[in-house]
Structure 1
Amino acid sequence: MKAVIEGLLFVSGEEGMDKKQLAEVLGEDLESVNKGIEALTADYSEGNRGIQILEAGGTLQLTTKAEHAPYFKKLVQSPASATLSQAALETLAIIAYRQPVSRVEIEDVRGVKSERPIRTLMGKLLIREAGRAEGTGRAILYGTTPEFLEQFGLRSIEELPPLPENPDTEDAEGEADLFFERFQEQFDEPS
């Protein structure tokens, strides 16, 4: 059960899961789930591990340990991490043009999960939490940062290149690829 709990917390990402959700997915009672969580937490604290289980507001998440933060900072700032993946570029473009925008709205446009690209972009300080949506769940809304503007040589978001007028045409995919190449070239250039 520990391995499954660990896997579930890993795939739930920054949203995490509460104990009731874990019990439902595992088909176990809360007492068994609590024992599994306690055993897993003990494994993380006893061993020389880089992750831990954090409980905040009733939600459990796998997180890195605070004492390792200087290494994570180096990773984010290293030249090898300077380029953005196609997924991160797509996500960044959606956020730039539609901000403030929720993860669900980003995923609707992309058609795939976007948690990892969002984490990457936040780690590179290109996007930030820009508030919460109204309604059920109060989803996090994302927007660009001053670092985004600086990185791409923009004075304001209004200076973004215009989107194609007819995105349903056959040329739209080629135009999108050119746009992403231009975005990537700008990101690769030293600022």
Structure 2
Amino acid sequence: MPSTNLKTRLEAVLYLKARPLNLEQLSRYAECDRDDCREALLELLEDYAGRDGALEIADTAEGYALQLRSPLQDLIQRLVPADLGVGAQRTLALIALKGPLAQSELVELRGSGAYDQVRDLVGKGFISRCAEGRSYKLRVTEKFFQYFAIEDVRDLVR
């Protein structure tokens, strides 16, 4: 029988990663045996299913995710406003769809205003940039997936 400690670690991993994780990923992050992970995860799923709380653990095609229950999704938009302009939204969409993307390529596609938009998006936590050669590599962050309530960027083009 898995220890409460393992259930607690799994819950922490799901919270911190803020995206769906499969059983292999969960066991690796929680540093436990896959069978113990499966057993503890089942107990955790039962715990959350029995709660009348705001959070749930969803079993998605991509894996298990700790998320806000569906009836409360509108709170994200009201309580965590992104305050993104149209240009920044378009830049963010481009990074999400084509990312990881070199900042130099983004500037070619969006123009020099993209520099300010990237700075704003990094500041708001929607993208990260990592030095690569003479440019930066841009990619969306976990906050992007949480804020827009999507699991995979492919969901944007369906």
TM-score (norm 2): 0.54
Give the root-mean-square deviation of aligned CA atoms: 3.8
Partner of residue 7, structure 2 = 2
- Structure 1 position 37, deviation (Å): 0.5
Identity value in percent: 12
CA drift of 1:98 comes to 5.9
* Deviation (angstroms), 1:2: 1.2
1:11 aligned partner, one-letter code: L
Question: How does 1:14-163 map onto structure 2 within 5 Å?
Answer: 14=19, 16-57=20-61, 59-66=63-70, 69=71, 71-73=72-74, 76=77, 78=78, 82=81, 84=83, 92=89, 94-95=91-92, 100-102=97-99, 104-105=100-101, 106-108=127-129, 109=136, 114-117=141-144, 119-120=146-147, 122=148, 140=153
Is 1:95–1:142's contact at 8 Å kept on the other side of the alignment?
A: no
- Partner of 1:17, secondary structure, is coil
Q: Deviations over 1:151-177 (max 9, x none)?
A: xxxxxxxxxxxxxxxxxxxxxxxxxxx
Query: Residue type of the partner of 1:65?
Result: R
Q: Distance in 2 between matches of 1:61 and 1:99?
A: 20
Q: State the partner residue of 2:107.
A: none
Which structure would you say has the larger RCO, counting Cα contacts within 8 Å and 6 or more residues apart?
Answer: 2
| d(CA) in 2 for partners of 1:119, 1:47 | 22
The TM-score with structure 1 as length reference comes to: 0.47
Aligned residues: 120
SS of the equivalent of 1:107 reads strand
Displacement, 1:11? 2.1
Instruction: Give how far 1:111 is off.
Output: 6.9
State the secondary structure of the residue aligned to 2:64.
Answer: strand
Residue 46 to residue 100, structure 1, CA distance change in 2 (3 Å) = closer
Conserved in 2, the CA contact under 8 Å of 1:13 and 1:61? yes
Return closer, same or farther for 1:101/1:25 CA change in 2, 3 Å cut-off: same
Letter in 1 for 2:153: I
Aligned ranges 1:163-182 → 2 under 5 Å: none
Classify the secondary structure of the residue corresponding to 1:61. Answer: strand
Rg bigger for which structure?
1
Gaps of 5+ in 2: 1-5, 102-126, 130-135
Q: Is 2:96–2:153's contact at 8 Å kept on the other side of the alignment?
A: no
Q: Distance in 1 between matches of 2:13 and 2:33?
A: 16
Q: Which runs of 5+ in 1 are unaligned?
A: 130-138, 144-191
Provide the rounded CA distance (Å) in 2 between the counterparts of 1:6 and 1:117: 21
